[in-house]
Amino acid sequence: MIRKERAILALEDGTVYRGYAFGHRGETVGEVVFNTSMTGYQEIMTDPSYNGQIVTITYPHVGNYGVAIYDMESNKPYVRGFISREFSGDYSNFRAQQSLEAFMQQYGVVSIQGIDTRALVRRLRTGGVVKGVIAHRSYTHPEDAYGEFTPEEEAAYVARAAGHQDIDGHDMTREVTTALPYALPTLRGGKRVVLMDFGIKHTIIERLAEVGIEPIVVPAHTTPAQIMALRPHGLFLSNGPGDPAPLEYAHQTARELMSALPTFGICLGHQILGLAAGGQTFKMKFGHRGGNQPVKNLLTGNVEITSQNHGYAVDLGSIPNGEFIATHVNLNDGTLEGMAHSRYPVFSVQYHPEASPGPHDSRYLFDRFIEEIDAFDGGDGSPLMKALSGGLGV
């Protein structure tokens, strides 16, 4: 029998799961969440929206197709930790350059395997997300890496989890946004769009370029004057981690530019638009994370299967004067998944239409954005506004 180094997952409520070490040997602390995707572990790990979180993968076997540089969604992993029922030390995939464990060791991702992830997910669904600590025995006791943690050690890790800073009320975009602006020139000389980087994924930039947009990515704190100085045709508000409420600088920017530029928001960008219009957001019990979330398009009646990663949602009823109108709703819990401004060419969705990983049902939204920009420049009137008034189907 192969001996495995011991590890634990200690939650702030006192629950302790005992398993085995994987990845970088060490300790880590963060908010424990779960993702129901069956593939895409590398994209999940490198999504900046997971900054501050320990991610549990519900699919029981992770790592069998290795890691490929082409699947990176940022320059490094942003997850605080990773949890699986079983990680694979071997891989088979012609695209892969290295194993998942080697990748985790390279970037310092502390992980645990061998625990009952079904029980953990039920705990999170029932009680809501909690803070937790992953600790490897070999990190603190290398001479006894295969031994059990003592009750006193487990209690200390529970206390550490409980004392860790909450994501609520904390601006986490500062840790993931670009330090300097950069551009992605396109051969087609597309419409220039400023992308506010709150934790943007590489695939989003690529999808925008594919529909004829020349993306210019700027830091989260870029001012309205600095954005307009770039003479853009549109504005994009990206995804990102954590609570949208503390990002008052972003609310102000979105508020000032809403009437000046066609605007598209995704995930955190969607929430920022809601707050910019005077609305409120709320933290969900366990959020939506996975590639199988059903969303109804209220403009067409179609149901889209979507990729999602968020723990906060917009309360549409809190937005004054009916400034935004619902365009999409989640069929599992009825939460708002998309909205459009009642007067300006501004729209947003709570999910990830770039689908990396995930289904492609919602990629049309990138085409809609370029259509809005073209109509705005040509003075033809917003196609989305016509759809909201019943003029056409979208």
Annotated binding-site residue numbers for L-glutamine: 49, 240, 242, 268, 271, 309, 311-312
Rounded to an integer, what distance in angstroms lies between the CA atom of residue 355 and that of residue 363?
A: 8
Evaluate the CA torsion angle 308, 276, 204, 42 in order and state its sign: negative
Q: Binding site: what residues are annotated?
A: 49, 240, 242, 268, 271, 309, 311-312
DSSP 98: B
Which sequence positions are flagged as catalytic?
A: 267, 352, 354
**C-alpha 47: how far from chain center:** 6
Q: Which long-range contacts (CB under 8 A, 24 or more apart) does 115-119 make?
A: 115/9, 115/17, 115/18, 115/19, 115/83, 115/85, 116/17, 116/85, 117/34, 117/56, 117/57, 117/58, 117/60, 117/83, 117/84, 117/85, 118/58, 119/17
CA angle, 308 as apex, 337 and 237 as ends, to 5°? 70
Evaluate the CA torsion angle 340, 316, 242, 125 in order and state its sign: negative
